[in-house]
Chain A
Amino acid sequence: MSDPRAYRRSYWETQPEYLYPPYKSTVKRAPTKPLVMPPQTISEITGPLFGHDDVRPEEADLTGQHAGEPLGERMIVTGRVLDENGRPVRDALIEIWQANAAGRYRHAVDQHDAPLDPNFTGCGRVVTDENGRYEFKTIKPGAYPWRNHYNSWRPAHIHLSIFGHGFAQRLVTQFYFPGDPLLEYDPMYMSVPDERARKRLIAEFDWEHTVPEHALGYRFDIVLRGRDATPMERR
């Protein structure tokens, strides 16, 4: 069997480093020894595959999981999952989690003095279609304080976990909202060295996907690693 075509390495400074001291939790958790850089093998090129059978359609509606409607500004989030070569990634699984409109997670560790919403759990899942498109409905999460430094606040954000077609494409990220004044004070957002790369974490307001008298629209496209153009040389 010939060697598989490898996934490309990302461009310099478009990804955070492991150690970023302004985000304090990195200090005791970032590896300190050099990473080993092996060639990719079939073990990394392959990975778990998901499909529309794995996810129920109602999992894409975070506002419809309880008897009543959650509080907050309703929004429709749409986007495409593409690879670095611009090809749509179909059947990508996207897992979604977020705080409620008051900035509180439904998690025992979250002790922020803001109310839980009995009508909001804050989790969803969706699988991309043949054009890499996805759509989910939720409410806009609130900003919340955390204990990274004095008076530290996380800007409003939604967590996304994405499975493409290979374990090498695995990505967990967060997206933010345009015009948020907290972004420039947020060490997680600021950990991405390149400003243009950082800004790609901000969803765009999307007039076309607003639903009149019901919900605002936001668009967030996701780019996973793409394959090298030519097969790897045999070693």
Chain B
Amino acid sequence: MSLFLTPSQTTGPFVAISFERTVVDDVAPPSVAGDRVTIRGRVLDGDGKPVDDAVIETWQANSHGKYAHPEDTREKLLEPEFKGFGRVLSDRHGAFRFKTIKPGRVPGPGDTLQAPHLVVLVFMRGLLKHLVTRIYFPDEPSNSEDAILALVPPERRSTLVARKVEDGLFEWNVVLQGDQETVFFDY
């Protein structure tokens, strides 16, 4: 059987009436192992104006590099209290912020290992389908071995790597258009 994928449509400007009830801005309960990180950023449109109706969803492995999902069959420590999913909304300044732990490395294509990263989905009014991107971490030697980063033109890779503000605090922005446009993926 072969069915056709349902067409995507925008979340529109009023998505918050639903999603504000299910915000997850603290992804890792205190019992979960790993380096605590706060990631903050802004969502900016093609005029550099803040986007105040964006939804940012994140998905990540735990610090052992294990996804809370049955298709991750590797023998790594699973922490039942860590789901790995985050969801935040941008405010009127286009700003968002969430706390989590730095994920461990997970398998990449072939026999490679990926550098620590979060998969990010971005939804908003004006996006007829969501955007897919990633957050990587600075000062991470494994970034140079990451098969997905290697596919990104070198001059644009920095848009995927969060900037360290201070210990445990990182900044990563979603820039929709222009010279600093964030790299988006089509999987």
B185 near A38 with CB under 8 A, answer yes
B59 near A48 with CB under 8 A, answer yes
Q: Which residues of B contact A7 (CB under 8 A)?
A: 187
Q: Which residues of B contact A96 (CB under 8 A)?
A: 18
B14 near A46 with CB under 8 A, answer no
A10 near B5 with CB under 8 A, answer yes
Q: Which residues of B contact A166 (CB under 8 A)?
A: 71
B187 near A168 with CB under 8 A, answer yes
Q: Which residues of B contact A83 (CB under 8 A)?
A: 3
| Among candidates A38, A39, A107, A201, residue contacting B17 with C-beta atoms closer than 8 Å | A107
A15 near B110 with CB under 8 A, answer no
B18 near A25 with CB under 8 A, answer no
Which residues of chain B from 151 to 187 have any CB-CB distance to chain A below 8 Å in the complex? Answer: 151-152, 156, 176-178, 181-187
B71 near A42 with CB under 8 A, answer yes
Q: Which residues of A contact B71 (CB under 8 A)?
A: 4, 42, 45-46, 166
* A142 beta carbon closer than 8 Å to chain B: no
B5 near A14 with CB under 8 A, answer yes
B128 near A188 with CB under 8 A, answer yes
Which residues of chain B from 3 to 18 have any CB-CB distance to chain A below 8 Å in the complex? Answer: 3-18
* A17 beta carbon closer than 8 Å to chain B: yes
Q: Which residues of A contact B147 (CB under 8 A)?
A: 38-39
- Using CB atoms, name the residue of chain A closest to B45: A28
Closest beta carbon of chain A to B104's beta carbon, Å: 12
Interface residues contributed by chain B, number (CB under 8 Å):
73
* B73 beta carbon closer than 8 Å to chain A: yes
B8 near A15 with CB under 8 A, answer yes
A161 near B126 with CB under 8 A, answer no
Q: Which stretch (B29-37, B116-124, B137-145) binds chain A?
A: B116-124
B17 near A48 with CB under 8 A, answer no
Which residues of chain A from 43 to 95 have any CB-CB distance to chain B below 8 Å in the complex? Answer: 43-49, 82-86, 95
Given contacts A172-B9, A235-B109, whether A43 and B114 have CB atoms under 8 Å apart is yes
Q: Which residues of B contact A86 (CB under 8 A)?
A: 1-3
DSSP majority for the A interface? Answer: loop
Q: Which residues of A contact B184 (CB under 8 A)?
A: 31, 35-36
A167 near B121 with CB under 8 A, answer yes
28 example contacts (A-B, Cβ-Cβ < 8 A) are as follows A11-B4, A15-B7, A16-B9, A23-B10, A28-B45, A28-B177, A30-B127, A31-B131, A31-B177, A32-B46, A33-B183, A35-B185, A38-B148, A41-B107, A41-B148, A46-B72, A48-B84, A49-B68, A122-B17, A161-B15, A167-B121, A171-B8, A192-B7, A197-B4, A201-B7, A224-B5, A224-B6, A234-B109
Q: Beyond the given A40-B187, A189-B9, A223-B3, could you list 4 further A-B residue pairs with CB under 8 A, ordered by the A residue number?
A: A15-B129, A38-B151, A121-B17, A200-B4
Name B's A-contacting residues (CB within 8 A): 1-19, 21-22, 45-47, 49, 51, 53, 57, 59, 61, 67-69, 71-74, 83-85, 106-110, 114, 117, 119, 121, 123-131, 147-148, 151-152, 156, 176-178, 181-187
Name A's B-contacting residues (CB within 8 A): 1, 3-4, 7, 10-11, 14-18, 20, 23, 25-33, 35-49, 82-86, 95-97, 99, 105-107, 109-110, 121-123, 159, 161, 165-168, 170-174, 188-189, 191-192, 196-198, 200-201, 222-226, 234-235
